[in-house]
Amino acid sequence: MIYLSISNSWAALPAAFGGGISTLYILLKVERLLGVSTIAYDAASNISESADKATTSSEIEHIIESYNLGYPLPDEVEVIWEEDGDSESIIQNKKEIISLDDSNHQNKNASRAVLQFAHKNIVYHVRIFLHRKIDYGLDAFVSEDILTNSAVETIHVDKNKATGKIFEELVNELDMDMTGSMNQIHQELDSVRDAGFFGPVLLREYSKLSEEGWPSEELDAETRGFLRFLDDLSNRSPGEEGKLAYPGKYINVGVGIISGEHPKEYYKELALQSFAQYDTTYILAEGDKISKAKAIHNELVGRPGVADHNVIEYDFRSNSRFDEGYCAQYEVPVGHVTHTN
């Protein structure tokens, strides 16, 4: 691709280009040295600018498409440029179309793109039900997570600088009393993401809140309390005892984490107890524990009453101590499944 060659070495360009790129380079240098503007220079500048934008678009698209959250996201992303247009995002046929203001501030463009993507794809339909700090916290955290955990090689987008501009993009929308507490929200989301609970558990529970009708202070408090519960669960040491359920009115969840300490029957018994008490049960495992979790799942779904279930396998972040994760979700009305049926 021509614009990649521009960024690397003039001498390496094939003769097939007939010196066109070298001419472009000379024109740019002459204009800078003499302060002149020519028709040829304007044309060369337009070619260079178009190439830069094509590279930037491709980089942003690949950064976002490579993001694995353990939560359903659009299959494809396309970045388009609109002169004098507002940044916005729409979804068409499972493709995310991100429209950016036509400017050359590529790190700012990258930060705006990931913020748009996060806002429109991370439980967008239930944002009014969430605690306000979590609403903004999700945008900031997921946007940063996309950029900092991407292995995509970039030329025009500096992922570190683009990450630094995320807060600049959000700060005008935040009240002064919110900015200080955003760090706490961010730390909790980070812990939950590291433990593998972010997409499969937190976002899935939040995504069901639209069934609850209308926002309320009680619901708002539960969304904040559930994040704290998962943060506490995420930070426990192996074998450390603590709550494995969140018995809320709107979020009513039991969680089972498979380890190597107990046999399969032990976890199956815990799952049945959870079915008897909570609306939703999650069974999670990582690495070599996944095969045990799958065996437990196969036995549970064979029971009458366990009809509504979902399984997802996902990758952990590149800096995690885990590689692969597994989550089985069961929506079983309380009392529909017992030890005898």
Rounded Cα gap, residues 88 and 86, in angstroms: 6
What are the structure tokens assigned to 222, written together? Answer: 């539960």
Q: Which long-range contacts (CB under 8 A, 24 or more apart) does 295-304 make?
A: 295/264, 296/258, 296/264, 296/267, 296/268, 296/271, 296/328, 297/328, 299/264, 299/268, 300/268, 300/271, 300/328, 300/330, 303/337, 303/341, 304/337, 304/341
pTM listed for this prediction: 0.79
pLDDT, one tens digit per residue, over 148-167 is 988 889 888 999 999 999 88
Q: How far is CA 155 from CA 23, 191, 219, in A?
A: 22, 31, 45
**3-state percent helix, strand, coil for the chain, nearest multiple of 5:** 55, 15, 30
DSSP code of residue 73: -
pLDDT, one tens digit per residue, over 237-267 is 867 788 999 999 999 999 999 987 889 999 9
pLDDT at 331: 92
Q: How far is CA 299 from CA 66, 200, 275, 290, 303, in A?
A: 34, 21, 14, 15, 7
pLDDT at 90: 58
Least confident of 137-141, 187-191, 269-273, 333-337: 333-337
Strand order across the beta sheet in which 245-247 lies: 245-247, 252-257, 280-286, 324-331, 309-315
pLDDT, one tens digit per residue, over 79-92 is 887 765 555 555 55
Asked if 189 and 198 touch (Cβ cutoff 8 Å), the reply is yes
Q: Interior CA angle at 155 toward 86 and 76, to 5°?
A: 55
Mean pLDDT over 49-59 rounds to 81
pLDDT band at 45 (very low <50, low <70, confident <90, very high): very low
Rounded Cα gap, residues 325 and 198, in angstroms: 12
The kind and range of the H/E element at 92 are strand 88-92
Rounded Cα gap, residues 176 and 319, in angstroms: 33
